[in-house]
């Protein structure tokens, strides 16, 4: 043996209140669900769990479509599935860019020979439907990619009406709802969204690793008639057979992770019990309260227009003289709350604070506001 066994020493993991842009803490029942037995992928319980997940996903996306399932992988796997199944090489993808997820969509699409048009705006704002229509009218792309909630900037994009605009020009509408689903209203069918993906570790308060996706009838038709090859692992036609989307197949495509299947099922069960309306209301109320508290501190919103602010992630600029890393470290060490620095457009310009899922409560909002106030007071002497 040339490689000896490593001495992997167990260590204690400290738990904090996760108030970055994700991951978020787990619902207690989701934590329990993760320890449910590993079962055979050929038994009735397993089929029932997948069916429950599909029903739950239809509810959270608000769609009657049957092409609804979960991809094994984090949010990026949903992104890659949606893009590669709907846009072939030499076809055009218009990317509405206002943060790093749109950059990621660019990175994914370029790997598959897709032609890309990028339309950019300032990162602290959102697109008007008129400007998006102008771009679609000029470029007539196969699809438009847009992010609903952007966790790198803390903005929420208005989508209502965008589907109709896209369809007028034969364009499909692809939407990232990773950090918005469950926390902000979203209506796949009513808004004419053709493909949507999300993830579990944000407002659904689950573990990352399994990502809901859904495709409209228009998107399903495009996939049926497509000639291009999609990545095997993300081939929605094969996955639809595994997930029994059309009610007559239970094929094996790959081994799903049972703990993640149980966890996603529980996230969706939680949300169904609470109801979407109540969850959206809870997120709006908590964040409104947090923003009211923040307004009394010398912090500035990175997103000036309150209507463009995302309920799940708030981006806040520190006053001059403060160091972002010092504030983040102080809040974590003294208050056991994890917040994140800016990323991409917000790097060194803003904190990213997520209040979502199980953490969307008045108590968490107060704890965060108290921790920030304390950090600003304690650090001012050393850093100014
Ligand atoms: N889209 C958005 C809006 C996100 O916030 C994230 C994760 N922060 C992703 C996509 C990528 O998801 P993941 O890290 O789960 O692959």
Kindly state the average pLDDT of the residues 284-313.
98
Whole-number Å distance between alpha carbons of 335 and 192: 44
Pairing, β 17-18 against β 337-338 = parallel
The pLDDT assigned to 30 comes to 98
Q: The pTM is what? A: 0.97
Kindly state the average pLDDT of the residues 316-320.
95
Q: Read off the tokens for 114.
A: 């897709």
User: 249: pLDDT confidence band, cut at 50, 70 and 90?
Assistant: confident
pLDDT digits (tens, 9 = 90+) for 89-113: 999 999 999 999 999 999 999 999 9
Q: Is the CB of 76 under 6 A from ligand 1?
A: yes
Kindly state the average pLDDT of the residues 14-26.
96
Q: Give every CB contact of residue 73 below 8 A, 6+ residues apart in sequence.
A: 209, 210, 211
**% helix / strand / coil in the chain, to the nearest 5?**
40, 15, 40
* Nearest atom (ligand 1) to Cα of 22: 8
Kindly state the average pLDDT of the residues 321-326.
94
Q: Is the CB of 87 under 6 A from ligand 1?
A: no
Sequence-ordered alpha helix ranges (H) in 93-211: 100-110, 129-139, 162-168
Q: Is the CB of 207 under 6 A from ligand 1?
A: no
pLDDT digits (tens, 9 = 90+) for 50-59: 999 999 999 9
Residue 308 CB neighbours (<10 A): 19
Would you call the peptide bond into 23 cis, given omega within 30 degrees of 0 as the criterion? yes
**ipTM confidence:** 0.99
User: 381: pLDDT confidence band, cut at 50, 70 and 90?
Assistant: low
Taking the centre of ligand 1 as the mean of its atom positions, its distance from the CA of residue 155, in whole angstroms, is 14
Which range, of 20-24, 27-31, 292-296, 346-350, averages the lowest pLDDT? 346-350
Taking the centre of ligand 1 as the mean of its atom positions, its distance from the CA of residue 154, in whole angstroms, is 13
Kindly state the average pLDDT of the residues 13-31.
96
* Burial of 278 (C-beta count, 10 Å sphere; 0-12/13-18/19+): exposed
Taking the centre of ligand 1 as the mean of its atom positions, its distance from the CA of residue 75, in whole angstroms, is 5
Which residues line the annotated binding site for substrate?
352
Domains of the chain, first to last = 17-21+275-383 (3.90.1150.10), 28-273 (3.40.640.10)
Residue 281 CB neighbours (<10 A): 13
| % of the chain with per-residue pLDDT over 90 | 97
Taking the centre of ligand 1 as the mean of its atom positions, its distance from the CA of residue 359, in whole angstroms, is 18
Q: Is the CB of 199 under 6 A from ligand 1?
A: yes
Q: Is the CB of 80 under 6 A from ligand 1?
A: no
The pLDDT assigned to 382 comes to 60
* Nearest atom (ligand 1) to Cα of 313: 5
Does 384 have pLDDT greater than 90?
no
Chain Cα centroid distance, residue 3: 41
Mutate to test the pocket of ligand 1, among 23, 75, 148 (most ligand atoms within 8 A of CB): 75
User: Would you call 144 helix, strand, or coil by DSSP?
Assistant: strand
Average of per-residue pLDDT values in the chain: 97
Taking the centre of ligand 1 as the mean of its atom positions, its distance from the CA of residue 133, in whole angstroms, is 26
The pLDDT assigned to 248 comes to 83
Residue nearest to atom 9 of ligand 1 (CA): 75
Does 383 have pLDDT greater than 60?
no
* Nearest atom (ligand 1) to Cα of 152: 5
Task: Determine contact, residues 149/303, Cβ cutoff 8 Å.
Answer: no
């Amino acid at each position: 043996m040339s490689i000896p066994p490593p001495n992997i020493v167990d260590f204690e993991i400290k738990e904090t209140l996760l108030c970055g842009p994700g991951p978020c803490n787990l619902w207690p029942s989701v934590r329990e669900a993760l320890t449910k037995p590993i079962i055979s992928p050929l038994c009735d319980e397993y089929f029932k769990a997948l069916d429950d997940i599909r029903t739950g996903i239809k509810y959270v996306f608000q769609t009657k479509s049957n092409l609804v399932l979960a991809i094994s992988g984090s949010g990026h796997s949903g992104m890659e599935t949606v893009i590669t199944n709907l846009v072939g090489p030499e076809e055009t993808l218009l990317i509405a860019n206002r943060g790093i997820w749109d950059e990621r969509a660019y990175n994914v699409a370029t790997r598959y020979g897709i032609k890309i048009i990028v339309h950019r705006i300032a990162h602290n704002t959102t697109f008007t439907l008129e400007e998006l229509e102008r771009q679609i009218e000029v470029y007539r792309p196969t699809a438009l990619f847009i992010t609903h909630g952007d966790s790198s900037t803390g903005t929420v994009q208005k989508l209502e009406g965008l589907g109709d605009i896209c369809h007028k020009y034969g364009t499909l509408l692809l939407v990232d709802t990773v950090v918005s689903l469950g926390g902000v209203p979203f209506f796949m069918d009513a808004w004419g969204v053709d493909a949507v993906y999300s993830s579990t570790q944000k407002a659904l308060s689950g573990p990352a690793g399994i990502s809901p996706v859904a495709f409209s009838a228009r998107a399903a038709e495009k996939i049926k008639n497509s000639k291009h090859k999609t990545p095997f692992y993300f081939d929605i036609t094969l996955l639809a057979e595994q997930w029994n989307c059309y009610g007559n197949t239970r094929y094996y495509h790959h081994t799903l992770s049972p703990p993640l299947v149980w966890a996603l099922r529980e996230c969706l069960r939680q949300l169904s019990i609470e109801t979407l309306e109540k969850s959206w209301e809870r997120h709006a109320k908590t964040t409104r309260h947090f923003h009211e508290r923040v307004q009394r501190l010398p912090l500035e919103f990175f997103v000036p227009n309150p209507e463009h602010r995302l309920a799940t992630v708030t981006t806040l600029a520190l006053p001059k003289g403060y160091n972002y890393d010092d504030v983040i470290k102080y809040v974590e060490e003294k208050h056991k709350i994890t917040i994140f620095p800016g990323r991409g457009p917000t790097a060194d310009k803003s904190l990213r604070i997520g209040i979502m899922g199980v953490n969307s409560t008045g108590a968490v909002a107060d704890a965060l506001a108290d921790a920030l106030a304390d950090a600003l007071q304690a650090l001012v002497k050393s850093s100014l």
